[in-house]
Amino acid sequence: MAKRFEGKTALVTGGSRGIGKAVAERLLQEGAKIDVSDWDRTKTAVEQIGVVDLLVNNAGMLHQEIFVNVEIDKFDKILNTNFKSAFNITQIVARGLISAGRPGVVVNISGTRGLKGAVGFMPYCVSKAMMDMLTKVTALELGPHKIRVNSVNPTIVPTDMTKDLYKNKEFLQMFMSDHPLGKFATVDDVVNATLFLLSDDSTMITGSNLAVDGGNLIA
């Protein structure tokens, strides 16, 4: 396997399971030095890693509840996990890269629901919409420093976070009808898109929200 990331240091948040774990494993196979972080890791701990060349903001949580029943504490928890963690760590990593005068790449794992709403998932949808705009604004501001920022926006992927949704046959049937390719994304689909955006194969791509959705957004 090609060592596309030889000599690079990569930080993957939420890397203990699901998409984050798969991304970290592939980066390791392709030569990167991996640091895995959760939101519980403090600012000091992230700073102690040193200069990070590649950042994947993957930490996230899903909550299903109709809008009128959502309590502010639950909403805040989802925003803290899905958005504020990315804001915090991206800021730290960007400062380190700028100070060192080094280029870098950030990939935010977002979702189609940041671009297309879903009944019963308001906090999640809002958090992903915020992630997508964070991607665009930071791409504008960090571009002059040779730091690229993009997001990967998958449809539902079979992970621990979505296992309850996969038990709902009515929901899956309804959701599948909006996918022209007739299938959901796999973890590998998301990993491949993420590594493409991290690699030098995408040096002219920044500020993009890459849908990995089987055509869901155009349906």
Residues labelled as active-site residues: 124
145: its two tokens? 């420093």
8 A C-beta contact, residue 132 and residue 110? yes
Give, in order, the Cα–Cα distances in Å from 39 to each of 15, 46, 59, 116, 142: 11, 10, 7, 26, 23
- Dihedral through CA 63, CA 69, CA 71, CA 72, nearest 10? 90
Give, in order, the Cα–Cα distances in Å from 117 to each of 68, 97, 171, 216: 16, 35, 15, 12
